Amino acid sequence: MNADLAEVLRSVKHVLIDFDGPICSVLAGLPAPEVAERLRAAVLSHGESVSTSWGSETDPLALLRRISVDRPDLGAMTDAALTRLEEEAVQLARPTPGGKLFSEPAAILAGPSGWSATTRAALSRPI
């Protein structure tokens, strides 16, 4: 830790740290475009059609948002599928060098709804 950061943190009582990045790269082993493609496949596997506007989206969170706006009836199913994919991705995640130092004494922020389970799964892995 450099001296400037140490000085800033000296008087801080609590630090909130984002999980994806400081702790590990969640999508390092399962890239976002592949997650988006598998998310589309999950929609298809439920007998639903995939809108052409969803076909070019490579960001899984943007895809979830588009599906939820276009087809609110598919929102919960798509969110659950994304959570499963994130849980798979975290098993392949690449730890951030030094990230374990942050994970023990800090509160870690998890993003979208399914990320709390994903975060728990990642933190249970040795880093």
Give the global pTM: 0.71
pLDDT at 108: 56
pLDDT at 102: 61
pLDDT at 94: 85
C-alpha 102/C-alpha 93 separation (Å) is: 16
Domain boundaries, the chain: 3-124
Distance between start and end Cα atoms, the chain: 19
Query: According to the 3-state scheme, what is the secondary structure of the chain?
Result: CCHHHHHHHHCCCCCEEECECCCEECCCCCCHHHHHHHHHHHHHHCCCCCCHHHHCCCCHHHHHHHHHHHCHHHHHHHHHHHHHHHHHHHHHCEECCCHHHHHCCCEEECCCCCHHHHHHHHHHCCC
pLDDT at 24: 80
pLDDT at 30: 92
Q: Mind listing the pLDDT tens digit of every residue in the chain (127 residues)?
A: 566 777 887 888 777 777 777 778 888 889 999 999 999 999 999 998 888 888 889 999 999 999 999 999 999 999 999 989 988 888 888 888 877 666 555 555 555 555 566 566 656 665 5
